[in-house]
Chains A and B, each alone.
Chain A
Amino acid sequence: MRVRCYLNIIGIVLLGLGLAMSAMGETTTKVSLMLSAETARPGETVMAGVRLQMQPKWHSYWVNGGDSGLPTKLDWTLPPGVTAGEIQWPVPEKLVTPPLTTYVYQDEAILLVPLKIGADAAAGSLDVKVKVTWQECSDEVCILGHTTLEAKLLVGGESKPSADAALMAAAREKLPKTEAIPPISAKWEKDDDTRPMIIEWNAPGK
């Protein structure tokens, strides 16, 4: 009886291992880390950008993946005095593959994260490190990928934008706006197990 129990456990472990390996296949997405500044002063905020470049027919996921799909996760390793803020997610696309609806990025997405440099940060070179875990899917398969990326930031007496600053400024334009939002209202339409919600807002120019 006890031997059968052990065999069952071993079987479950092997099955789980097999599933995990199939989910950790070879990824196709190119992932890179960029910083908005080459040099920054203590007390400033530098933007970090994690750029995901998907192959054609592949996508990664928004913070809400929808009916399936895992959002990209970032785990930072930062020097003392530097803190990372929340991920700022660009507006995704809606992908409908009945019966599933997901919110995805195709082609490319740059996830922006503010890095706050402490006012008392010492001058010198800082190592910024992030572990990126993402899910990429095609029509047929999903793969969980992860990689660790590093960048260097100089803290000194001046601010100097990096070569990626323009790309990151363009990425900022793809974030949802938090200002100049059109007047919007929402209401429940009727009571039901699943409630219809009506959202309405002013059409542009009206």
Chain B
Amino acid sequence: MTGVDFFPYASDKYEVKGETERLPDADGKIRIRKLVSKSGADWPARINGVLVSKAAGDGAPQGYEVNLTLALLSAAVPGATTRGTCGCVFDCDAGFCVSRRVDIEHHAVRVAGDSVEGARVREPDP
């Protein structure tokens, strides 16, 4: 496989830049990096497009229709706190997150630019 790329469908909420950076394969996976900018307030949770791979030679490129689901970035932001499941939250530092149990009041929260349906954290009574 010589050429891999991702061709995005157009959106008025974000733009996927044309440049594609091929990263070293890892764990048997092909990896590429694309840059995304947003037009609105929130980063997209889904990006649709066509994954393209081209084998060596004159063969036609093979395309796959894909809907990329992007997790919120907040879990990897140092110092961020985000909701886990069943009364747990994750405290994140340098990309690592530790879960802890809390009581939860439901509110919309905004973390690292992502608008999410989340929870306000209240520490349990000692």
Decide: B68 and A186 in contact? CB cutoff 8 A: yes
Within 8 A of A (CB), among B66-92: 66, 68-71, 73, 76-77
Residue A5 interfacial (CB < 8 Å) = no
State in angstroms the CA–CA spacing of A177 and B50 once bound together: 9
Stretch of A24-32, A60-68, A133-141 contacting B (4+ beta carbons < 8 Å): A60-68
State in angstroms the CA–CA spacing of A181 and B112 once bound together: 32
Decide: B73 and A191 in contact? CB cutoff 8 A: yes
Residues of A within 8 A of B28 (CB): 202-203, 206
B8, B25, B43, B50: the one contacting A195 at CB < 8 Å is B43
A3 to chain B, nearest CB (A): 42
Decide: A62 and B36 in contact? CB cutoff 8 A: no
Decide: B30 and A200 in contact? CB cutoff 8 A: yes
State in angstroms the CA–CA spacing of A195 and B16 once bound together: 10
B40 to chain A, nearest CB (A): 14
Residue A81 interfacial (CB < 8 Å) = no
Residue A103 interfacial (CB < 8 Å) = yes
Residue A132 interfacial (CB < 8 Å) = no
> Main SS of chain A's interface residues?
strand
Within 8 A of B (CB), among A167-200: 173-178, 181-182, 184-191, 193-200
Residues of B within 8 A of A204 (CB): 1
Q: How many residues of B contact A (CB 8 A)?
A: 47
Q: Known: A175-B63, A191-B77, A199-B68. Is A63-B34 also a contact (CB below 8 A)?
A: no
List 3 A-B pairs, minimum CB-CB distance, nearest first. Answer: A101-B18, A176-B63, A91-B63
Further 6 A-B residue pairs, CB within 8 A, beyond A100-B18, A101-B17: A93-B61, A177-B62, A177-B63, A188-B76, A197-B16, A200-B31
**Would you give 18 A-B contacts (Cβ < 8 Å), ordered by A?**
A62-B7, A64-B8, A64-B9, A66-B18, A67-B18, A100-B18, A173-B60, A177-B62, A188-B70, A191-B77, A195-B43, A196-B33, A197-B68, A198-B23, A198-B31, A198-B32, A199-B68, A201-B51
